[in-house]
Amino acid sequence: MKEFLKKTISISLISFYFFQIEKVQAIVPYYYFPTIKNLQKQSLYIGKNAYQLLYFGKYEDSLNLAKLAVKINAKDEKLWLILAETQIANKQYKNALNSLNKAEQINSNISEIYFAKSNIYLKISKKAKAKIALEKGIKIEPNNHKAIFQLGNILLMEKNYLEAIKLFDKSIKIKPDFWQAINNQGLAYFEKNNINLSIKLFESAISIQENAEPLLGLASCLRINDTKLAIQLAKKALAKDPKYVNYDYRKEQLWGEKLQASTEILLQNEQLKKDVILAKAKIIESS
């Protein structure tokens, strides 16, 4: 009887023990603790979503997602780069530079970091720093035709036309159909008073892509010797992109003083009066 009682008590205690465990599990939820690898994957997924939102113009949403991605994984330079891009889109230039510095601390051998820095420095009118950043990026990626072109643009701003032309030529050798670099060589040569070469370069750019900029550039070159063709080209240019009627807009596109003066004279031609008025009206409508 005593032995049976012991067994009964023992069974009762075991049953009570299992009953208690089941009860506790029913009350306390099960928590999943993700591994570092899973967290990294999740952060990259969020980062990609942030970049997609940026692409679709959802700047604020992309910024918030990029911040979250970096919080989850602050050791991935790609996420800092994405965050910097979203900060640039939201005009948070100081924060973007801080993010790029973080990326550089993790991996200093990524050309995109320096190209992004140069972009910011240009936006805040720090050309010297933009140039240094570009040169660092080009050392890492020497065949990046766009970066070489951008460095040429800085020299064009500085009126260092010969060196700018050399860089444009270098970018064209890497990408022969890079009409923007051919066009900008035309801009530079006009300021060097080599109008005949400017004509050839603008024509070459147009043969690749009939863009408003080389069309109007060529028109300005021809306004004295072939007024009829110059007017036709100017009409076509303003129809394609009315913004080129604006002096300040052309200045943003790095047009020099001599080409600007020639273009202003051309646009005052009576045969272009209606086209100029229409172009200005379109700019007002779109603003």
Question: Whole-prediction pTM value?
Answer: 0.82
Ranges of residues in the chain with a pLDDT under 50 are 1-28, 30-33
pLDDT, position 4: 37
| pLDDT score for 37 | 66
pLDDT of residue 35: 60
> CATH topology for 177-287?
1.25.40
Predicted confidence at residue 281, as pLDDT, reads: 96
HEC string of the chain equals CHHHHHHHHHHHHHHHHHHHHHHHHHHCCCCCCCCHHHHHHHHHHHHHHHHHHHHCCCHHHHHHHHHHHHHHCCCCHHHHHHHHHHHHHCCCHHHHHHHHHHHHHHCCCCHHHHHHHHHHHHHCCCHHHHHHHHHHHHHHCCCCHHHHHHHHHHHHHCCCHHHHHHHHHHHHHHCCCCHHHHHHHHHHHHHCCCHHHHHHHHHHHHHHCCCHHHHHHHHHHHCCCCHHHHHHHHHHHHHHCHHHHCHHHHHHCCCCHHHHHHHHHHHCCHHHHHHHHHHHHHHHHHC
Give the pLDDT confidence score for residue 1 in this predicted structure.
45
Q: What pLDDT does 43 receive?
A: 84
What does the domain layout of the chain look like in residue ranges?
177-287
